[in-house]
Amino acid sequence: MSADAADDLDVVILGGGSGGYACALRAAELGLKVALVEKGRLGGTCLHVGCIPTKALLHAAEVADVARHGEQFGVRSTLEGVDMPRVNAYKDGVVARLYKGLQGLVKAAKIDYVEGEGRLDGPGAVVVGDRRLTARNVVLATGSQPRSLPGLDIGGRIMTSEQALAIDHVPDRVVVLGGGVIGVEFASVFASFGSAVTVVEALPRLVAAEDEALSKQLERAFRKRKITVRTGARFASATQDADTVTVTLESGDTLEAELLLVAVGRGPVTAGLGYEEAGVPLDRGFVPTDERLRTGVPGVYAVGDIVPGLQLAHRGFAQGIFVAEQIAGLEPTPIDETGIPRVTYCDPEVASVGLTEAQAREVHGDVQTYEYNLGGNGKSQILGTQGFVKVVRVADGPVVGVHMVGARMGEQIGEGQLIVNWEAFPEDVAALVHAHPTQNESLGEAHLALAGKPLHAHA
């Protein structure tokens, strides 16, 4: 095993997902000599088995619903069925185009792209096959993988989101185990495609990390869509035969389905990669860091899903850029996790940034909130969606949380994050003119109301 004397690398990055490739591209842009190691495909989970393919499925699901409900808009359309091979071809085409573009970016940046499974070999080295890459800095970006539960083996009719992305037909009945982001997105897809769906969640509500008001509205919307929601229901066991999977709950209730989708979260990919041997501390498999994403071992950083906190591609992306700039000596401002926007792309969409009402009360004490119902928003009425925009402010102070539910509301989170991160007062936002008729007006109306001048709502 030999180190390439010509390497003389500034940074070697272990993992080519959102965090890893962003770090590589920014580091190269700053004139650093970079190697990027990836055992799978460049782009990682997000591009190949996460964000992009699932959102493509969700768009196909939206098209199915538009066809199914065309009559309510005076359009005589019917849904003849869903051709999953064609849906998958569309999804895979989107992924392929983005993958090709990303490969071109890495090549153009003259990054040393190393294919193969890498392993940390001491603080400043990564081994890939018979090659040993040494660098002044190492960035750990090995990402996450689907979790399961004890005694619940993945295989056959029991699958995670990764296997579900390749399903070649629409199942008649689906049980989704887990009511978090991944669970409710897949529940939404299968219901739109025509499956009878039951969501089983051990916690008292769906998307439990979100503001409670969003959870309640999402549950109402799901029930209206004939999606069965079982909250406060704990999984006990599952068995399967050639045709059916049977799920038993701790209550003794049983559910039968053609498919059991296990969506109980994602765990860090850190085992067997030499982290602990190199002195990098782990906490339940995660890599704790300080606010500058340092692991405690000099010259070793960590980004993305292996760092405790939100498991979001755009968080990893921002962290990758941050670490590249840190290594280059730019002293970037640490990332405030509460200012990172969150979107769940089910129907209706759930979008939020900042503190929930409960968190805001805990941190700030006296807070004011306002919920603007989309019933008063012209574009939302045109789209036929229900939901609301909820704004949380410190009493007589800045906005600290924006929470939205309704069709396409994820597209509004950009302004929401500017409001929260720039610590705007409702009075500041109320002075801005929002285009009419757009759903974006709902943000303006909510802030008008909090500023004491509600025009289309009750104070």
Give the catalytic positions in this structure.
436
Query: Alpha helix (H) ranges present in 109-174?
Result: 161-164
Say which DSSP state 259 is in: E
With beta carbons less than 8 A apart as the criterion, state whether 423 and 353 touch: no
Sheet holding 196-201, edge to edge: 158-159, 259-262, 173-177, 196-201, 228-231
Fold designation for 9-145+268-337? FAD/NAD(P)-binding domain (3.50.50)
Flag whether 429 is marked binding.
no
Q: How many CB atoms lie within 10 A of CB 72?
A: 8
Q: Compute φ and ψ for 445, nearest 5 degrees.
A: -65, -40
Flag whether 362 is marked binding.
no
Q: pLDDT averaged over consecutive 10-residue blocks of the chain (459 residues)? A: 62 98 98 98 97 98 97 96 98 98 98 97 95 97 97 96 96 98 98 98 98 98 98 97 96 98 98 97 97 97 98 98 98 97 98 98 97 96 96 97 97 98 97 97 96 70
- Burial label for 110, CB within 10 Å (0-12, 13-18, 19+), is exposed
With beta carbons less than 8 A apart as the criterion, state whether 206 and 177 touch: no
Could you tell me where in the chain the CATH 3.50.50.60 domains are found?
A: 9-145+268-337, 158-264
| Distance (Å, whole) CA 363 – CA 197 | 38
| Distance (Å, whole) CA 420 – CA 391 | 10
Flag whether 31 is marked binding.
no
pTM score of the predicted model: 0.96
H helix and E strand count, the chain: 13, 23
For Cα atoms 383, 385, 387, give the angle at the middle one, nearest 5 degrees.
Answer: 145
The amino acid sitting at 420 is V
Instruction: Report the greatest alpha carbon distance in the chain.
Output: 72
Which pLDDT value is given to residue 453?
81
Sheet holding 245-249, edge to edge: 235-240, 245-249, 254-257
Which pLDDT value is given to residue 1?
46
Could you tell me where in the chain the CATH 3.30.390.30 domains are found?
A: 348-451
| Distance (Å, whole) CA 359 – CA 382 | 34
Flag whether 444 is marked binding.
no
Termini Cα distance of the chain: 71
Q: Which CATH architecture has domain 158-264?
A: 3-Layer(bba) Sandwich (3.50)
Q: How many CB atoms lie within 10 A of CB 314?
A: 16
Strands 266-268 and 399-406: unpaired
For Cα atoms 378, 181, 167, give the angle at the middle one, nearest 5 degrees.
Answer: 105
Flag whether 323 is marked binding.
no
Q: Residue 104 region, left (φ>0) first, then alpha (ψ -120 to 50), else beta?
A: alpha
Flag whether 178 is marked binding.
yes
Flag whether 185 is marked binding.
yes
Q: What is the CATH number of domain 348-451?
A: 3.30.390.30
Flag whether 287 is marked binding.
no
**Close Cβ partners of 410 (under 8 Å, ≥ 6 residues apart):** 343, 345, 349, 351
Strands 388-394 and 367-373: antiparallel
Flag whether 39 is marked binding.
no
Which pLDDT value is given to residue 454?
76
Peptide bond before 204: cis, by omega within 30 degrees of 0? no
Q: Is residue 193 classed as helix, strand or coil in its secondary structure?
A: helix
Q: How is residue 208 written in tokens?
A: 């439990």
Flag whether 181 is marked binding.
yes
Q: Compute φ and ψ for 159, nearest 5 degrees.
A: -140, 160
With beta carbons less than 8 A apart as the criterion, state whether 324 and 26 touch: yes
Flag whether 143 is marked binding.
yes
Q: Compute φ and ψ for 69, nearest 5 degrees.
A: -110, 20
**Close Cβ partners of 205 (under 8 Å, ≥ 6 residues apart):** 179, 212, 215, 216, 219, 231
Q: Is residue 286 classed as helix, strand or coil in its secondary structure?
A: strand
